[in-house]
Amino acid sequence: MRIKKVKKRKVKIQLDHSICHLSVIPVRRQPEDQSEVVTQLLYGETCQIIKRKNNSWVKIQLDYDSYEGWVDPKQLYFITAEEHEKYSNTTAHCLEYSQAIISDDVSQPILMGSSLPHFDGMNYKLPSGKYIFSGQVLDSADLLLTPEIITKISCKYLNAPYLWGGRSPFGIDCSGFTQIVFKMLGIYLPRDAYQQAEYGETIDFVEAASIGDLAYFVNKDGKVIHVGIVISDNKIIHASGRVRIDHLDHYGIYNLEAKKYSHILRVIKRVI
C-alpha cells in the first residue's frame, strides 16, 4: 500500500508592526496617492498596523504620538512584536539636515530628527542590519536642557518651507516643527497644535515667558490653529510660509516683513 504524502501548507505570518527605513514616508488621510498628507514618518520611527485595504494600503498608528493615517505598505519595513519592543524607544536623533547612512550594501540619506536606535557613537542597529552614521547626533538621554540648546535646535529649522503635514527640514508645518524640536530635546508633544495646547503650565503674561515656552494662537472662532516657540524676549520662531522669527507681544505675532499682525495670541504654556 502506497502512503500518500500530505504537503505541509506554509503559514504566512502577518506582521502588525513596522519601522521606517526610508528617509521620510507620507502618511495620508485616505488610502490613495491623491489624498492629503496628514503627517510623516521619519527614518527609524515605528508604528503599528491597525487596518489593511486590499494589500495595497495599510492604516497605521504612529508609536510616538498615536496619530493615524494610511501608508503604501511598499514603503514600510515590517517587523515582529519583539523587534518592535526593541526599536520603538530611541533617544538618539540625527542633527544633520541630510546625512548618508552606510552599511555593506546601502548608502542613503536620512533627515534631521530621524531616530537612530542603539546608537553607540558611530554605529546603530535596525532590524534590517547594522549601519554607520558619522554625522552629528543629539541624544536626549544625555542632554542638559539650557536656553542655548533649545534656541540652537529650534533655529536649525530656520527657512524650512511650510508643508501641511510635514515634519522634516525640507517641509514642515507649525505643530510638526514644535513636536520634532521637542522630540529631539526628549520632551513629548502630541501632533496637532490644539492637542499640544493641553500640555504644560499656563504663563499669564508675555513678559513672564521664557525660552522654550510654547505660544498658541487662535482663529476668529477661538480655535487653536497655530503654535510657535519663544526663543528670547519678545521673539518667537514658528512655521508660517517658512520657519521664521517674528515679534511676539500680548496681542500676537507681529510679522516684521509684512508690518502687521499675522496671528492672535491665545495662551502661553511651559512644558520644560
CATH of the domain at 22: 2.30.30.40
Assigned C-alpha cell, 15: 506582521
Where is 84: in which H helix or E strand?
A: helix 81-87
Number of domain units in the chain = 3
Q: Are residues 165 and 266 in the same domain?
A: yes
Q: Are 187 and 249 in contact (CB under 8 A)?
A: no
Q: Are residues 180 and 134 in the same domain?
A: no
Assigned C-alpha cell, 180: 520634532
Residue 48 located in a structural domain: yes
Q: Are 178 and 231 in contact (CB under 8 A)?
A: no
Q: Are residues 33 and 111 in the same domain?
A: no
- What Cα–Cα distance (Å) separates residue 108 from each residue in 21, 49, 92, 130, 138? 10, 25, 18, 14, 20
Residue 207 located in a structural domain: yes
Q: Are residues 125 and 209 in the same domain?
A: no
Residue 164 located in a structural domain: yes
Last residue of a domain, one of 123, 140, 157: 140
Residue 179 located in a structural domain: yes
* pTM listed for this prediction: 0.92
Q: Are residues 31 and 132 in the same domain?
A: no
Q: Could you give the CA distance from residue 166 to residue 168 in angstroms, rounded to a whole number?
A: 6
Q: What is the pLDDT of residue 256?
A: 85
Q: Could you give the CA distance from residue 106 to residue 171 in angstroms, rounded to a whole number?
A: 25
Q: Are residues 202 and 262 in the same domain?
A: yes
Q: Are 184 and 93 in contact (CB under 8 A)?
A: yes
Q: Are residues 147 and 260 in the same domain?
A: yes
Q: What is the pLDDT of residue 6?
A: 41
Q: Are residues 148 and 130 in the same domain?
A: no
pLDDT tens, position by position, for the chain (272 residues)?
Answer: 455 454 444 434 568 999 999 999 999 999 999 999 999 999 999 999 999 998 899 999 999 999 999 999 999 999 999 999 999 889 999 999 999 999 988 899 999 999 999 999 999 999 989 999 999 999 999 999 999 999 999 999 999 999 999 999 999 999 999 999 999 999 999 999 999 999 999 999 999 999 999 999 999 999 999 999 999 889 999 999 999 999 999 999 999 899 999 999 999 999 99
Find where cell 480655535 sits: 223
Query: How many Cβ atoms from other residues are within 10 Å of residue 92's Cβ?
Result: 23
Q: What is the pLDDT of residues 142-186, one digit of tens each?
A: 999 999 999 999 999 999 999 999 999 999 999 999 999 999 999
Q: Are residues 23 and 131 in the same domain?
A: no
Residue 1 located in a structural domain: no
Q: What is the pLDDT of residue 68?
A: 98
Residue 5 located in a structural domain: no
Q: Are 195 and 261 in contact (CB under 8 A)?
A: no
Q: Could you give the CA distance from residue 137 to residue 99 in angstroms, rounded to a whole number?
A: 11
Residue 6 located in a structural domain: no
195: domain range? Answer: 143-270
Q: Are residues 168 and 215 in the same domain?
A: yes
Residue 4 located in a structural domain: no
Assigned C-alpha cell, 249: 507681544
Q: Are residues 68 and 97 in the same domain?
A: no
Q: Could you give the CA distance from residue 177 to residue 247 in angstroms, rounded to a whole number?
A: 18
Q: What is the pLDDT of residue 8?
A: 46
Local structure of residue 9 (DSSP, 8 states): P
Closest CA to 63 of 16, 9, 112: 16
